[in-house]
A and B are shown apart, each in its own frame.
Chain A
Amino acid sequence: QKEVEQNSGPLSVPEGAIASLNCTYSDRGSQSFFWYRQYSGKSPELIMSIYSNGDKEDGRFTAQLNKASQYVSLLIRDSQPSDSATYLCAVVPGSGSARQLTFGSGTQLTVLP
């Protein structure tokens, strides 16, 4: 079983729509959760971080965390063509002192003009 799983995509949404990206994780002790955006040929950039259950909003982005279900999601409202990228879910496992990130395989999002 993979430690962090994302819906494989690719996901296409029309401009202005809501894009919904999902992620599940296997380590119930995980405490830190991140969403990164990666454009082709570039390194990941942090979009959102979330540490407690519930919703966290930042502009057009909302992260949702449900630790009981081991589920974290990212909603992108009013999607723009510039949002087209691969979105990576990353989790810091509960054990281990180095606190390294574990990434999902990524979901490729295309926003159609």
Chain B
Amino acid sequence: GAVVSQHPSRVICKSGTSVKIECRSLDFQATTMFWYRQFPKKSLMLMATSNEGSKATYEQGVEKDKFLINHASLTLSTLTVTSAHPEDSSFYICSAREEGVGGYTFGSGTRLTVV
């Protein structure tokens, strides 16, 4: 089945620094990937839709300058949390849909802690 690899799985960073999270589709091409954020005991909140070769589409209330998304190839999307603050601490999850197959495969998630 389709596999999505997400790295790192866990990261601790200092306030003010930037963190990059990678999401790769390993055995299929994904023109579109999705980035979610999840707070404890809450559901997944869509942050943005990442489009290969073009700008990401951000959901209302998500700061595009803070959460930089790059989808430079058909198998890789990255999310960079810039100038991180403690309130950015969360579980970030990417997802990709294999065209023509249906179903959405999720990466294993990244637990970000900003101290």
Contacts and interface: CB of A to CB of B under 8 A. Distances in A.
Interface of A: 32, 34, 36, 41-46, 49, 51, 88, 90, 98-106
Contacts of A104: 43
Given A43-B108, A46-B103, A99 B97 contact: yes
A44 B106 contact: yes
A16 to B, nearest CB: 28
- 6 tightest A-B CB contacts, nearest first: A43-B109, A43-B106, A98-B49, A105-B43, A103-B43, A103-B44
Contacts of A32: 102
A40 B2 CA distance: 22
Given A34-B104, A101-B34, 10 more contacts: A32-B102, A36-B106, A41-B91, A42-B109, A43-B109, A44-B106, A46-B103, A49-B102, A88-B43, A101-B95
A88 B44 contact: yes
Q: In this complex, which of A36, A45, A46, A104 has the most chain B Cβ atoms within 10 angstroms of its Cβ?
A: A46
Interface SS of chain A? loop
Interface string B1-16: 0000010000000000
B57 A101 contact: no
B75 interface: no
Interface in B56-111: 57, 91, 93, 95, 97, 102-109, 111
B104 A105 contact: no
Contacts of A42: 108-109
Contact of B42 (A36, A100, A105): A105
Contacts of B106: 36, 43-45
B49 A100 contact: yes
Nearest to B4: A43
Given A44-B44, A103-B43, A98 B103 contact: no
A52 to B, nearest CB: 12
A18 B108 CA distance: 29
Contacts of B108: 42-43
